[in-house]
Amino acid sequence: MAKKIDEGKSQIVLIVAIIIIAAVMLFGMFNKGRKDAEKITKKSKNVKTSQNSDKKSSKTRKSKEKREVEPEILDGYQVLKVSDGDTINIQKVENGKFVGEILRIRMYGMDAPEKTQDYGSESRQALEKLVTGKNLSVEVKNKDRYGRTVAIIYADGKNVNEEMVKTGNAWWYQEYAKKDAQFEEYQENAKQKKLGLFSRKGYTEPWNYRKEKKAAASSRTKSK
């Protein structure tokens, strides 16, 4: 009798053990399934985020390309005054009359000798010859700290900014036009052929000339 009871207990224990093992296995399978589902959901979200990011990036690139391809061009202008080799005043002309706002233009990508600097007068005359009496178009870049419109000027379709550097009548203004290698190429060619200001010895870059002049003025003020 005792033996039968022990066998019964053993069977019960075995059944309980099987139930526990089965429960553990089912729990493990359920937990694994839940984690796999979470991974799939997370991966799906990441893919969507990446796709959205790619779309935004693509839109941004297209927007930049559009701005580069389609710069703001203002047509129908004529020159009023040539201040020096890189600064002019222009105004729109309609039906033979000057109308609208007078624009003070600081020519982009180039820097001409100052009026008080060697070759300053020749540089101004070279620019005057290129723009006087011509139909001018203006490719606006930005505004400088003095409120002038920084721009490329086209005279009857010719890029005046490049022409001034090409003929040695102005420098490539590297500080503000680093990416415009065409100016650098024109300047190197002008140097090699000794055109314009490069035909003279001891020339000084206008930005260095301005710094020296400013330093000299500051020194005189301190000495007083």
Active site residues: 106, 114, 148
CA–CA distance, 104 with 126 (Å, rounded to integer)? 18
φ, ψ at 10 (rounded to 5°): -60, -40
CA–CA distance, 172 with 156 (Å, rounded to integer)? 22
Q: What is the DSSP letter of 116?
A: T
Cα 57 to Cα 46, 61, 65, 159, distances in angstroms: 16, 6, 12, 33
Is the CB of residue 170 less than 8 Å from the CB of residue 190?
no
Give the 3-state secondary structure percentages of the chain, helix then strand then coil, rounded to 5: 55, 25, 20
CA–CA distance, 34 with 14 (Å, rounded to integer)? 30
CA–CA distance, 115 with 122 (Å, rounded to integer)? 9
Is the CB of residue 87 less than 8 Å from the CB of residue 102?
no
CA–CA distance, 27 with 151 (Å, rounded to integer)? 73
CA–CA distance, 39 with 49 (Å, rounded to integer)? 15
